[in-house]
């Protein structure tokens, strides 16, 4: 039997299109388990906590994020909650809730959000398994048809459980051949998943979709079976061979541990706006807790004023290092798996290898100056 974290759920009504204080303070790297139930009514249309896959424009609280969905905010770091979420807190500070609605929308909500955060009286916090425990307790191998809809895997997961995924093979679309990472473009309404990377392998637990690609490690957002799909538009053939490793249920993240025994900060590195990948000073194994902190600013050239590591809300186009992800923001990658970090991030390393960093500018940035000073913390 794996020890589970014992908590009081904090039930909060989510009503606001501006950040709403939960009166809960979290620490970076802490495991957050959050669930939301109920509905949101926006201009007469009813949505669940995951809102709509359409992205919001400049009149929404969060640009280029799913509209009418529930988000969490800690400082400048935001993350989607939807119906269920399990993640490492990306920053330290007050946890706020936000409905990503438009400024002039008529909004009513009966959402009740449960945040598992506070120990009950006379309840001792479990300390094992630790967040850096990458052991696998069960493995499943299966084949995913690139042309199919959601596929059952038969792998039952517990909320907060570590999950490891490997995928190899080919997704064939006309003359193009993709691996499980798919393409940088995101799909429209003719794809299985709107605004998700096309021809990429994705997973789903309950109603929560998780991007996977060729290598992934994540915390299961809820109890349920893992399902798999390639994000196609009825135009793909081929198969992917997928291995799913079910791991432990970490007790508490980095909280309550002698953190220096688990992770250590690499020397600070300075990342210029040159459109090139740079060494981050740390090497990780998939599933390791990986923390990133960045400060500083870039300016000049094609930029409109000073820009901090969170970048701007607009997405980069084809002339940027990466498309369809925040422009002029700090990003990282491990092997072929890249991810947005902004000024604060905490996650399970999606692959094994050196951590590399880049500012998502155009290839030359037109004479931009400045840099982001970055500290990567990992085992």
pLDDT per residue as tens digits for the range 113-171 = 888 765 555 555 567 788 888 999 999 999 999 999 999 999 999 988 999 999 999 99
Overall fold of domain 136-247: Jelly Rolls (2.60.120)
Place of tokens 């399902």: 227
pLDDT at 15: 58
Domain ranges of the chain: 8-118, 136-247, 262-378
Q: What percent of the chain has pLDDT over 90?
A: 69
Band of residue 13 on the pLDDT scale cut at 50, 70, 90: low
Domain covering 8-118 in this structure, CATH number: 2.60.120.430
pLDDT at residue 233 is higher than 50: yes
Which of 84-88, 102-106, 347-351 is predicted least confidently? 102-106
Q: How far apart are CA 99 and CA 83, in angstroms?
A: 13
Is the CB of residue 358 less than 8 Å from the CB of residue 278?
yes
For the residues 181-190, what does the mean pLDDT come to?
95
Band of residue 175 on the pLDDT scale cut at 50, 70, 90: very high
Superfamily of chain region 262-378: Galactose-binding lectin (2.60.120.430)
pLDDT at residue 6 is higher than 60: no
pLDDT at 107: 87
Band of residue 89 on the pLDDT scale cut at 50, 70, 90: very high
For the residues 33-57, what does the mean pLDDT come to?
92
Band of residue 16 on the pLDDT scale cut at 50, 70, 90: low
Give the strand pairing for 20-26 and 93-99: antiparallel
Q: How far apart are CA 244 and CA 251, in angstroms?
A: 21
Q: How far apart are CA 182 and CA 32, in angstroms?
A: 29
Contacts of 8 (CB under 8 A, 6+ apart): 116, 117, 118, 119, 120
pLDDT at 234: 96
136-247 and 8-118 share a CATH fold: yes
pLDDT at 358: 97
Q: What percent of the chain has pLDDT over 70?
A: 90
Backbone dihedral angles phi then psi of residue 286, each to the nearest 5 degrees: -55, 135
As a 3-state breakdown, the chain gives helix, strand, coil percent values, each rounded to 5, of: 0, 50, 50
For the residues 172-178, what does the mean pLDDT come to?
97
pLDDT at residue 12 is higher than 60: no
Q: How far apart are CA 77 and CA 342, in angstroms?
A: 8
**Cα 219 from chain centroid?**
10
pLDDT at residue 268 is higher than 60: yes
**Cα 314 from chain centroid?**
18
**26 or 192, higher pLDDT:** 192
The model's pTM: 0.91
pLDDT at residue 310 is higher than 60: yes
Q: What is the pLDDT of residues 320-379, one digit of tens each?
A: 999 999 999 999 999 999 999 999 999 999 999 999 999 999 988 878 999 999 999 998
pLDDT at residue 5 is higher than 80: no
pLDDT at 230: 98
pLDDT at 123: 54
């Amino acid at each position: 039997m794996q020890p589970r974290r014992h908590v009081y759920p904090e039930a909060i009504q989510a009503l606001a299109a501006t950040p709403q204080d939960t009166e809960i303070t979290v620490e970076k790297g802490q495991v957050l388990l959050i669930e939301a139930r109920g509905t949101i009514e926006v201009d007469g249309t009813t949505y669940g906590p995951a809102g709509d896959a359409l992205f919001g424009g400049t009149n929404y609280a969060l640009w280029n994020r799913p509209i009418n969905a529930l988000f969490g905010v800690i400082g400048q770091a935001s993350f989607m909650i939807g119906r269920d979420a399990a993640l490492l807190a990306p920053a330290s500070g007050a946890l706020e809730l936000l409905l990503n609605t438009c400024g002039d929308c008529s909004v009513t909500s009966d959402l009740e959000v449960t945040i598992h955060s506070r120990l009950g009286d006379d309840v001792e916090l479990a300390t094992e398994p630790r967040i850096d425990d990458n052991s696998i307790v069960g493995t499943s191998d299966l084949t995913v048809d690139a042309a199919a809809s959601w596929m059952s895997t038969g792998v039952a997961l517990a909320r907060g459980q570590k999950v490891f995924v490997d995928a190899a093979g080919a997704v064939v679309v006309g003359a193009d051949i993709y691996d499980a990472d798919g393409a940088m473009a995101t799909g429209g309404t003719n794809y299985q998943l709107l605004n998700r990377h096309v021809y990429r392998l994705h997973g789903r637990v309950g109603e929560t979709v998780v991007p996977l690609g060729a290598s992934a490690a994540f915390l299961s957002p809820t109890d349920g079976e893992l399902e798999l799909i390639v994000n196609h538009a009825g135009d793909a053939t081929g198969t992917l061979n997928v291995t799913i490793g079910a791991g432990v249920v970490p007790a508490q993240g980095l909280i309550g541990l002698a953190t220096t025994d688990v992770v250590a900060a690499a020397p600070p590195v300075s990342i210029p706006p040159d459109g090139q990948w740079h060494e981050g000073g740390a090497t990780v194994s998939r599933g390791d807790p990986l923390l990133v902190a960045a400060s500083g600013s870039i300016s000049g050239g094609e930029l409109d004023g000073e820009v901090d590591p969170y970048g701007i809300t607009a997405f980069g186009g084809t002339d940027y290092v990466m498309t369809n992800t925040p422009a002029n923001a700090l990003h990282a990658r491990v092997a072929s798996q890249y991810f947005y970090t902004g000024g604060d991030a905490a996650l399970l390393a999606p692959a094994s290898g050196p951590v590399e960093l880049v500012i998502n500018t155009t290839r030359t940035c037109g004479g931009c100056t400045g840099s982001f000073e970055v500290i990567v913390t990992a085992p």
